Amino acid sequence: MLSGKLFITVGSMAGTALVAFLFFLPVVSHGQQYDLLIKNGHVIDPKNNIDTIKDVAVANGKIVKVDNDVSPTQSKKTIDATGLYVVPGLIDIHTHVFVGSKADKFADGIYSVSPDDFSFKSGVTTVVDAGTSGWRNFPLFKEQVIDKSQTRVLAFLNIAGSGMSGKPMQEDVNDMNADSAAFVAEKYKDIIVGIKIGHYEGSDLAPFNKALDAGKKLNEPLFVECHLPQYSLEDQLQMMRPGDIITHSYEQVSERMPVVDEHGKVHPFVLTAQKKGVLFDVGHGGAGFWFSQAIPAFQQGLAPNSFGSDLHRFSMNAGMKSMLNIMSKYMAIGMSLGDVVTRATWNPARSIKREDLGNLSEGAVADIAVLSVQKGKFGFIDAGGNRLEGNKKLEAELTVRAGKIVWDLNGLAAQPWKQ
């Protein structure tokens, strides 16, 4: 390419131009090797133990350098992130984004949302759909949503053939098939990251066992959505394997046993399950998060492993709002910013066995969130309508997906307007 340029230059320009070209040759050849440079931001990259001010350079959709003082002359575009936090693109492992199926209130689009509408503005670059589709309708989900979204959409495949298709279909035990689920999950193994069980109200253990069977065939985690009220929480946690994920961890509803007892103590069997390696996801949603559970649990060592939001049309307009709001809520509860970022990036990446994501390693895909910490008087709401006050709130200033700027709240990457 350079010799081509040189040839054109020699062929078409006068001697002075050639001299000028040769003078600037090092700048041309090495000059703009990066597409994007995010300078002076405070990088928090839990995987690589980075928690300090660094520059992050991006080229061809990949992170190519995380270092001190990278020169802006080397980049086509430079963003000054002074005073901001630069973290891996956030991963939300509990969402409902299958908007296309005709099946039920969840899958027909009444509950589900379109991923790009809500992800980037919250710094989220990867969402995992929590079993809205099953092995029968996953191809439709892929065609309608996954293939058409800029957000990376992964999925826990529902053991129920048609996913969250409403009663009685989603509770038909005969339509829950470990072999079929494993077959589809294997076929789309770059997208499907585990098997989901939930929204089943019968007393039969078969659905749980079938989901477990599929998870074992695939060596992928189970995502247990409902804390199935007809089984005891203790039994469910005992059946779960290390690496399996339970969501709605801090729910307090009458039908099922919460993780914290009536005296404010975490049940010993819950801590035993945590020690065994069962992963606790927030799964906030509309009803899944209560301060009465989450705060004592946090104080007694049962912090969530991930901040799955249970994003759907109701939760986003209620106390949940966005994953960033859940992160801010946990800062108000007492979690450090570093711990909050870990649970929004590297922890969920590992829990879905996608260690290529949730980090800013050189060579990794350039999914990046640039966050601000707003200071002031804020309120956070739980599912019971309780309000917790906090003085910090995270906001997504800039979101980058595969090297491309997909969200820019205050025009950090835009040029100054001149009349």
Shortest spacing between CB 96 and Zn ion, in angstroms? 6
Residue 274 token pair: 């945590």
* CB of 135 or CB of 223, closer to Zn ion: 223
* CB of 45 or CB of 225, closer to Zn ion: 225
- Mind spelling out the 3-state secondary structure of 97-125? CCCCCCCCCCCCCCCCCCHHHHCHHHCEE
Shortest spacing between CB 151 and Zn ion, in angstroms? 17
Is residue 91 within 8 Å of residue 124, measured between CB atoms?
Answer: yes
Q: Which residues pair with 369 in a beta bridge?
A: 87, 399
List of E strands, 228-381:
245-246, 279-280, 368-381
* CB of 196 or CB of 393, closer to Zn ion: 196
Question: Which residues contribute to the site for Zn ion (CB under 5 A)?
Answer: 130, 310
Shortest spacing between CB 331 and Zn ion, in angstroms? 24
Q: Which of 145, 143, 110, 144 is nearest to 128 (CA)?
A: 145
- Please tell me the distance from the alpha carbon of residue 130 to that of residue 284, in angstroms, as a whole number: 13
Shortest spacing between CB 399 and Zn ion, in angstroms? 23
Shortest spacing between CB 308 and Zn ion, in angstroms? 8
Is residue 81 within 8 Å of residue 370, measured between CB atoms?
Answer: yes
* CB of 130 or CB of 324, closer to Zn ion: 130
Give the position of tokens 């050849």. Answer: 29
Shortest spacing between CB 276 and Zn ion, in angstroms? 24
User: 3-state class of 284 per DSSP?
Assistant: coil
Angle between helices 337-344 and 323-333 (to 10 degrees): 150
* CB of 124 or CB of 130, closer to Zn ion: 130
* CB of 88 or CB of 198, closer to Zn ion: 198
Q: Which of 231, 238, 250 is nearest to 277 (CA)?
A: 238
Residue closest to Zn ion (Cβ): 310
